[in-house]
Structure 1
């Protein structure tokens, strides 16, 4: 079963990419913060690179003006996330979370079986808003869609 509004985000190991790569845990990472976390099926994939991540980069200042931090999650290793962030000109304030083994994604119940496409385990495309690690809003895309997890949709949901 997937995580729901009102649930606390799971506390697992994660790699955080910003000004370098750091090991951390999701519990302390989300504690005491207002965060929009959006997930993509894969770094460097078409929709993720052309629309999803760029939308959050473009609207980052609007989230920050509301006191909300933005984080991007993918089931990719930290070096891939670091290269993707560099290629997309992601500012260091937008944290890239590398869930290399998919442990955080699986703990949330938001994994995607991409084996039929040669991609293995991935994250479903989603966005959530959490305060102090508690999910306050969750938007999960239907397969093949890109509507409810966009930066614009989440900004509207936060209004």
Structure 2
């Protein structure tokens, strides 16, 4: 994907808490579209290979969560974490991470990830199809900036991390906002 590209319109199958459901698992299915997440907002989207994995859980997700105020100060309305995991996994990961600021998007079938060109095989780790690590600044569904880790390939022997880090994205926003103000 390149700056100026529009995100693909897909449907994400999510599970949302609904007390009217009752019982020990008060959740219901709710389909959300790309437009539901991105229309009319300036957001940071970051994607990673899998919930509960080391780099994702230790650095990338916590960095975006803790830095939310800094991102908001740069005009970001929301931060989304997307992974090729189902809604059950993503919701449990969000709970385990104590998320209050970052919202998770489950791309269980990998359709969104495939359509943005980031679907890779991770069979070497027993993962199957997953997302390559990337981040983007998205304004009203259009990519403003794209941060893709180097080496995009199936069954890559490493898990590059740095280009899509919270620090890199925040620094880009700060510089972009300075340029707009000048």
TM-score (norm 2): 0.81
**How do 1:1-150 residues align onto structure 2 when only pairs under 5 Å count?**
3-16=1-14, 22-68=30-76, 69-91=78-100, 93-143=101-151, 144-150=159-165
Deviation for aligned residue 1:16: 4.8
Alignment correspondent of 2:177: none
Equivalent-residue separation in structure 1 for 2:54 and 2:129 (angstroms): 18
Q: 1:138–1:32: structure 2 CA closer, same or farther, 3 Å change rule? A: same
Deviation for aligned residue 1:114: 0.6
Equivalent-residue separation in structure 2 for 1:145 and 1:25 (angstroms): 29
Stretches of 4+ moved more than 3 A in 1? 15-22
Alignment correspondent of 1:156: 171
- Of the two structures, which has the highest relative contact order with CA contacts closer than 8 Å and spacing of 6 or more? 1
CA-based RMSD of the aligned residues comes to 1.6
Deviation for aligned residue 1:83: 0.5
The structure having more radius of gyration, on CA atoms, is: 2
Which stretch of structure 1 is more off in the superposition, 62-71 or 3-12?
A: 62-71
Equivalent-residue separation in structure 1 for 2:15 and 2:99 (angstroms): 10
Structure 2: unaligned runs, 5 residues or longer: 18-26, 152-158, 175-182
Deviation for aligned residue 1:94: 1.8
Deviation for aligned residue 1:118: 0.9
How many positions carry a matched residue from both structures?
A: 156
TM-score (norm 1): 0.92
Deviation for aligned residue 1:17: 6.5
